[in-house]
Amino acid sequence: MAQDAKYVTLTDANFQAEVLESDVPVLVDFWAVWCGPCRIIAPIIEELAVEFQGKAKIAKLDVDHNPQSAMSFGIRSIPTLLFFKNGQVVDQLIGTAPKRVLAERLENLASQPA
């Protein structure tokens, strides 16, 4: 992970520890380098990572390099955003969305008791 990046770079190897065993809600952005809409949403993901630091974890998974995790969650189109709480998928969004929508969903998850 780059020094200035606030989001977690996921791999098939660290998915379990970073997402499923996380004690805070996690937003996972399933993306790929060649995906146009993924590039559109990337700056929003990075802003959310800064804003939710300490309250929620923001993570990105490159589906081309980590097909196992993408397949296990049935990811068929990207970007797909999955919201995890206590190791379970509790919400999902396919395609791009305004930052406000993502922030509201994260806020709701972060404010709920575990």
Q: Which residues pair with 27 in a beta bridge?
A: 58, 83
Closest alpha carbon to 80 in 67, 61, 98, 65: 61
Catalytic status, residue 35: yes
Q: Which of 28, 35, 48, 106 is catalytic?
A: 35
- Three-point CA angle 55, 68, 74, nearest 5°: 75
Q: What is the pLDDT of residues 14-55, one digit of tens each?
A: 999 999 999 999 999 999 999 999 999 999 999 999 999 999
Catalytic status, residue 37: no
Q: What is the pLDDT of residues 57-110, one digit of tens each?
A: 999 999 999 999 999 999 999 999 999 999 999 999 999 999 999 999 999 998
Please tell me the distance from the alpha carbon of residue 84 to that of residue 82, in angstroms, as a whole number.
6
Q: Spell out the domains of the chain, with CATH numbers in brackets.
A: 8-108 (3.40.30.10)
Closest alpha carbon to 35 in 92, 81, 68, 71: 81
Q: Which of 27, 28, 38, 82 is catalytic?
A: 38
CB 92 within 8 A of CB 101: no
- Three-point CA angle 73, 44, 90, nearest 5°: 35
Instruction: State the chain's mean pLDDT as an integer.
Output: 93
